[in-house]
């Protein structure tokens, strides 16, 4: 598989754009594939970085006399935030189009950069998805080791690659952010956050376990979010009669990276961990489809104080003065056989008059599809096929 070129789902915009994504997901590779004729500047090149950081105006001279509408790629743009002022000028004066690639917008925002005031779109690239891997998709491997390109293209060395990813790339990324004074407390937090993948966040408990102040926990999570290593899934609040849980869940962008952060790479995975990995995988696919197909739908979870939970709630139509919101509800289970009791939280939500549940879907690791009184139960791969065919939302 290592010699195969995997086509990504992300489409090249027609106008200038930022491309953000975690390290190691193939942003530079994708840009070289879709913009082979572009002028390419890699700020990891020490000499180039030094020259442009000292004099950003040299960018125009380095690019040369290319025609209007030509593409210019700047990789690792967050290393020189001041370069965006020159990019802005060249977009206006030379009519060049820019692809600005990086693993975090945090440094750009901290430097007071306005991200070109809306003159550039924002796109994200993540780990490989089911639709990109196609016939190479292996559910068991993805749950154990994840879908970052290095792992998928060299499956025999997955554990060592992920170990290096956490110990080298993530540490480098955190140092680049420049907001962590001491690395050791952050590494303690990282291990805890890895083990809490797909769970509701209790910052006070994490503070105690990591031996850092509560405010520091918030800062650490914001770093993971800003570097796109993870994201919060917020609780859906449809104003139903029962009281909703409001603390968010935190999902790592990739189950393999979560396992590495938790320090579990060289331990056998149990079924509880595989269950969280399956949820992480489904969330990743939902986000990838939502972004690459420009659906822009809100994705949430739902949980009451009694513990009833709906894994994913997708809002397909917002609440209007004369109409309640419309949603699709998903329940994810690592199980070979479907238990009808798992349908109850979604069916209970469907009974609410405050929203309309357009579709109820159960996702499991069995082989057969079912429809139980309007509740669709689909094997994982069948669900993913329907998702990327546009049949879910």
Q: What is the pLDDT along the chain (393 residues), one digit of tens a residue?
A: 555 689 999 999 999 999 999 999 999 999 999 999 999 999 999 999 999 999 999 999 999 999 999 999 999 999 999 999 999 999 999 999 999 999 887 777 766 566 787 789 999 999 999 999 999 999 999 999 999 999 999 999 999 999 999 988 777 777 776 667 788 899 899 999 999 999 999 999 999 999 999 999 999 999 899 889 999 999 998 764 555 557 899 999 999 999 999 999 999 889 999 999 999 999 999 999 999 999 999 999 998 767 789 999 999 999 999 899 999 999 999 999 999 999 999 999 998 888 999 999 999 999 999 999 999 999 999 999 999 999 999
Ramachandran bin of 110, using left for φ above 0, alpha for ψ from -120 to 50, beta for the remaining angles:
alpha
Residue 54: count other Cβ atoms within 10 Å of its Cβ. 9
Do the beta carbons of residue 81 and residue 54 sit within 8 Å? no
Based on the number of CB atoms within 10 Å of its own CB, is 108 exposed (0-12), middle (13-18) or buried (19 or more)? buried
- Residue 175's pLDDT is what? 73
Measuring CA to CA, which residue among 133, 162, 146, 128 is closest to residue 273?
146
What would the two tokens of residue 236 be? 């859906």
- Structural domains of the chain, with CATH: 17-124 (3.40.50.300)
What residue has token string 């189950």? 255
Measuring CA to CA, which residue among 162, 342, 191, 169 is closest to residue 261?
191
Residue 306: count other Cβ atoms within 10 Å of its Cβ. 10
Tell me the torsion sign for CA atoms 285, 287, 291, 296. Answer: positive
Do the beta carbons of residue 388 and residue 382 sit within 8 Å? no
- Residue 343's pLDDT is what? 97
Q: How far apart are CA 50 and CA 327, in angstroms?
A: 51
Measuring CA to CA, which residue among 183, 159, 174 is closest to residue 264?
159
Q: How far apart are CA 306 and CA 359, in angstroms?
A: 24
């Amino acid at each position: 598989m290592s010699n195969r070129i995997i086509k990504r789902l992300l489409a090249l915009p027609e106008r200038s754009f930022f491309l953000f994504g975690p390290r190691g997901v193939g942003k530079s590779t994708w840009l070289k594939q879709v913009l082979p004729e572009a002028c390419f500047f890699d700020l990891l090149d020490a000499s180039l970085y030094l020259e442009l950081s000292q004099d950003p105006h040299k960018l125009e001279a380095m690019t040369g006399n290319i025609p209007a509408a030509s593409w210019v790629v700047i990789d690792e743009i967050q290393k020189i935030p001041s370069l965006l002022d020159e990019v802005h000028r060249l977009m206006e004066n030379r009519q060049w189009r820019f692809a600005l690639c990086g693993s975090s917008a945090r440094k750009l925002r901290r430097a007071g950069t306005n991200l070109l005031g809306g003159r550039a779109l924002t796109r994200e690239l993540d780990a490989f998805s089911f639709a990109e891997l196609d016939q190479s998709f292996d559910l068991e491997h993805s749950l154990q080791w994840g879908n970052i390109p290095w792992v998928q293209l060299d499956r025999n060395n997955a554990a060592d690659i992920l170990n290096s990813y956490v110990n080298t790339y993530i540490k480098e990324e955190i140092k680049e952010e420049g907001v962590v004074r001491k690395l050791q407390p952050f590494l303690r937090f990282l291990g805890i956050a890895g083990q809490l993948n797909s769970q509701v966040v209790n910052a006070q408990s994490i503070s105690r376990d990591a031996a850092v102040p509560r405010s520091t926990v918030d800062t650490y999570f914001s770093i993971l979010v800003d570097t796109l290593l993870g994201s919060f899934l917020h609780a859906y609040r449809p104003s139903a009669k029962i009281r909703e849980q409001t603390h968010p869940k935190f999902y790592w962008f990739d189950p393999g990276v979560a396992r590495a952060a938790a320090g579990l790479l060289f331990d056998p995975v149990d079924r509880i961990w595989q269950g969280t990995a399956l949820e992480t995988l489904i969330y990743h696919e939902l986000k990838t489809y939502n972004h690459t197909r420009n659906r822009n739908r809100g994705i949430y979870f739902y949980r009451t104080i009694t513990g009833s939970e709906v894994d994913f709630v997708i809002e397909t139509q917002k609440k209007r003065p004369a109409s309640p919101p419309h949603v699709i509800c998903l329940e994810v289970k690592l199980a070979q056989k479907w238990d009808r009791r798992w349908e109850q939280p979604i069916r209970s939500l469907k009974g609410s008059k405050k929203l309309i549940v357009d579709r109820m879907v159960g996702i499991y690791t069995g082989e057969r599809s079912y429809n139980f009184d309007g509740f669709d139960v689909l094997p994982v791969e069948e669900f993913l096929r329907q998702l990327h065919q546009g049949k879910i939302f």
